[in-house]
Amino acid sequence: SQQGEEDPQALSIQEGENATMNCSYKTSINNLQWYRQNSGRGLVHLILIRSNEREKHSGRLRVTLDTSKKSSSLLITASRAADTASYFCATYSSGNTPLVFGKGTRLSVIA
Amino acid sequence: NAGVTQTPKFRVLKTGQSMTLLCAQDMNHEYMYWYRQDPGMGLRLIHYSVGEGTTAKGEVPDGYNVSRLKKQNFLLGLESAAPSQTSVYFCASSGWAGELFFGEGSRLTVL
């Protein structure tokens, strides 16, 4: 079963707006990761946040993690048409278990 | 630097035929994974390996076999293909609890 659940399933915004995607998970984690997938391509790693971190930035990306609520959010600021893609959260549980992915959020950025 | 390479990229099989998907990585990663991606289902883990000579079952292992005879290669086999195995297959590799590096996917259709 999937550990992470992204919300919303789909999001459509205008270029220049901010996009926020949320991820909820069920069990304790070692770290949480966000990935991006362009249509027909493989997934690309965006950012990793460890369980003892609360916020992390990378360029126009901002990720927060609230372990008490078992949730994370990905914020993309000043979105561009090229940000159109599906975004997935994935979690490593404590211990030697593999990464488990959610079903993803489809982001459409309209120019 | 090739990263993760999957072959073949496309394949059409008839029900009952067998085939092998090959994944090769050049990053000296211990961990390798096979996922399948179906519309609306996100990525589901089929099998994974934590090192040369080891394999383990993921969420949806039935109908698939794997082998990791060499550290850089991870093979996914379908002994008797079924239409339900029509999907896009992704291979990935990683270090422990680290980011995953994905191949570009192998699109399989079973008629």
- Beta pairing, strands B87-94 & B106-110: antiparallel
- What pLDDT was estimated at residue A96? 65
Q: How far apart are CA A54 and CA A76, in angstroms?
A: 17
C-alpha distance from B14 to closest chain A C-alpha (Å): 23
Mutant choice from B99, B104, B106 vs A, greatest count of A C-beta within 10 A: B99
B67 in Cβ contact with B75 (< 8 Å): yes
Asked whether the predicted pLDDT for residue A94 surpasses 70, the reply is no
C-alpha distance from A110 to closest chain B C-alpha (Å): 22
Instruction: Kindly state the average pLDDT of the residues B70-99.
Output: 94
- What pLDDT was estimated at residue A99? 82
Instruction: Kindly state the average pLDDT of the residues A3-25.
Output: 92
Average pLDDT, rounded, for chain A: 92
**What are the tokens at A83?**
């940000």
Q: How far apart are CA A90 and CA B35, in angstroms?
A: 13
B97 touching chain A per CB within 8 A? yes
Contact: A45, B59; criterion CB under 8 Å? no
Q: How far apart are CA B39 and CA A104, in angstroms?
A: 11
Buried b (16+ CB within 10 A) or exposed e, A37-51: beeeebbebbbbbee
DSSP for chain B reads: ---EEEE-SEEEE-TT--EEEEEEESS--SEEEEEEEETTTEEEEEEEESSTT--EE-SS-TT-EEE-SSTTEEEEEESS--GGG-EEEEEEEESTT---EE---EEEEE-
Q: How far apart are CA A45 and CA B98, in angstroms?
A: 10
Asked whether the predicted pLDDT for residue B1 surpasses 70, the reply is no
Q: How far apart are CA A45 and CA A38, in angstroms?
A: 12
- What pLDDT was estimated at residue A1? 46
Contact: A96, B50; criterion CB under 8 Å? yes
A23: DSSP letter: E
Q: Convert the pLDDT of each residue in A42-66 to its tens digit.
A: 999 999 999 999 999 999 999 999 9
Q: How far apart are CA B24 and CA B7, in angstroms?
A: 9
Residue A83 three-state SS: helix
**Residue of B43, B103, B105 with shortest CB distance to A101:** B43
| All structural domains of chain A | 5-110 (2.60.40.10)
